[in-house]
Structure 1
Amino acid sequence: MIVKCPICSAPVTWSQQSPFRPFCSKKCQLIDLGEWASEERSIADKSQNQTPSQLDIEEIEAMLSEQPDDFFKP
Structure 2
Amino acid sequence: MNKPSQRVVRCPACGGDSVFDSSNRWRPFCSERCKQHDFGAWASERYAMPEQEGQSDPDFEQS
Counterpart residue identity of residue 37, structure 2: I
- Which structure carries more relative contact order (alpha carbon 8 Å, separation 6+)? 2
Task: Please tell me the residue identity of whatever aligns with 1:37.
Answer: A
5 Å matches for 1:3-22?
A: 3-22=9-28
Using the alignment, how far apart are the partners of 1:27 and 1:13 within structure 2? 15
Provide TM-score, normalisation by structure 2. 0.66
| Match of residue 70 from structure 1 | none
- Which ranges in structure 1 are unaligned for 5 or more consecutive residues? 61-74
Q: Secondary structure at the match of 1:15?
A: coil
| Aligned-residue RMSD, C-alpha | 1.9
How far apart in 2 are the matches of 1:51 and 1:39?
Answer: 21
1:35 partner letter: A
1:28 matches 2:59: no
Paired positions, count: 51
Percent identical pairs in the alignment equals: 33
Could you state the TM-score of these two structures normalised by the residue count of structure 1? Answer: 0.57
C-alpha distance in 2 between matches for 1:32 and 1:51: 30
Structure 2 gaps of 5+ residues are 1-6
Q: How does 1:1-74 map to 2 (within 5 A)?
A: 1-42=7-48, 44=49, 49=52, 50-51=55-56
